[in-house]
Structure 1
Amino acid sequence: MPTRAERSGPEPRRVVVVPGGPVLVEGPVELVTDDGTTVYRDRFMVAVCACRRSRRYPLCDTSHRRRRTTH
């Protein structure tokens, strides 16, 4: 596998999967939902909902925090 210095082309976007939380994507990003809607955000970091509980889906509104249960 080539190192970052050996790769040609644009720098890859960093994507961080937060356990129990959103997927963080370095922006700007253009998201296309399953119904074809396009959402554009030009922020430096965009939180994408991974649990589908967000009222702002596909963007995270931290709804996953309210649904956590403790045992």
Structure 2
Amino acid sequence: MSRPDVYLCPGGPMLLRGEHVVVDDDGTEHPTTRPVSAVCRCHKSRSKPWCDGTHKLLPERLRP
């Protein structure tokens, strides 16, 4: 049985395994270049669409 390509980390990013294209709020396409990529879900990252760990600094009620 194959494993899914998308993992949601509680209170953290969405992890993508394999090749994907992430489209940001402006419609810009960002192809993944790593075996596993972390996509921001808290909307606070300074390197959107990628996670930079900012969610760890947010109060728990504001985490995804």
TM class by shorter chain equals 0.7 to 0.9
List alignment gaps of at least 5 residues for structure 2.
none
Please, which of 3, 6, 30 is the counterpart of residue 15 of structure 1? 6
| Structure 1 runs of 4+ with >6 Å offset | none
Q: What is the aligned-residue RMSD (CA, Å)?
A: 1.9
Q: TM-score, normalised by structure 1?
A: 0.71
Q: TM-score, normalised by structure 2?
A: 0.78
Sequence identity percentage: 38
Total equivalences in the alignment: 60
1:28 offset after TM fit, Å?
A: 2.0
Max Rg structure: 1
Q: Which structure's residues are more often helix, by fraction?
A: 2
Q: 2 CA distance for matches of 1:23 and 1:66?
A: 17
Residue type of the partner of 2:24?
T
- Aligned match of 1:64: 55
List alignment gaps of at least 5 residues for structure 1.
5-10
1:13 offset after TM fit, Å?
A: 4.9
